[in-house]
A and B are shown apart, each in its own frame.
Chain A
Amino acid sequence: MSELITVEITNNPIDITRAISAVEDPAYGALNTFIGVVRDNHSGKTVKALTYDVHKTLAVKELRKICETAASKWPRTKYYVSHYHGTLPVGGVSLIIVVGAPHRPESFDACRYVLEEIKRRAPIWKKEHYEKGESDWLPGHSLQSPRHVEQGQEYEQKKAG
């Protein structure tokens, strides 16, 4: 029997067949798959490639936590998540999420949940490379909890005092 949760950060091409095989189960009627690919435009600029930077140790840990939470919300589901680390051209596969579930409603809900949480919480960053040779790191979601917002403020207050 396959693992309930498989997560990885890889700089090898993401294998969709392997991802689906990882969550197949005779009891499942739905294998919901999200595939993220590099598109050729953003905010009016022509994109040639994307570079993904990843804190591997924390990312694997966070991906697993996200899937564990999803598994507790939608029982009897299985997860495969693979995120790319490195540079991909337009059309390259950056992320695959496959959720196996007995029925389609929970497979859609769980897959969407995992995707949105990855964007919000996983320590992964992307840099866009444009046609004229310039590049930009994209803005994103701060990992600060309310307590983390205090980081630095205490020091600034001491300096001011």
Chain B
Amino acid sequence: MMISVQINYFGAFRQFGDEQTIKLPAGSTINHLKGIFADKLGKLHATLVQESVFANESEILTGDFVLENSTILSVLPPVCGG
């Protein structure tokens, strides 16, 4: 079964719009999602993607977190508040 993951953009990712949706097999991990996402943005932005993390509305997700269902996540680039 394929699922859809909507990825909301913040910070430097805003240059690509507000969001992107990626389809991938249910049971995929955040590692897998991050790889597909990096491919879509291209090599020019590989470092930005590598230094970023994915989060749901309550926490940052580790690479082995399993995506069972369609969901909405955020991609968080390096932070610089204050």
Contact = CB atoms under 8 A, between A and B. Distances in A.
B51 A144 contact: yes
B20 interface: no
A18 interface: no
Interface string A111-137: 000010011111111110000000001
A57 B60 CA distance: 12
Contacts of B34: 151-152, 155
Interface string B1-34: 0000000001110110000000000000111101
A107 B76 CA distance: 31
A124 B80 contact: yes
Q: Which of B38, B58, B77 has the most CB of A within 10 A?
A: B77
Interface residues of A, number: 43
Contact of A52 (B57, B58, B78, B81): B81
Max chain B Cβ within 10 angstroms of own Cβ: one of A122, A140, A145, A150 = A140
B52 A142 contact: yes
**Which secondary structure dominates chain A's binding surface?**
mixed
A134 to B, nearest CB: 13
A153 interface: yes
Contact of A125 (B35, B38, B49, B77): B77
- Which one of A53, A120, A143, A155 has the highest number of Cβ atoms from chain B below 10 Å of its Cβ? A155
A156 interface: yes
A138 interface: yes
Nearest to B31: A154
B40 to A, nearest CB: 13
A156 B35 contact: yes
Highest count of chain B CB atoms <10 Å: which of A55, A57, A148, A156: A148
B73 to A, nearest CB: 11
Interface of B: 10-12, 14-15, 29-32, 34-36, 38, 49-55, 57-60, 62-64, 74, 76-82
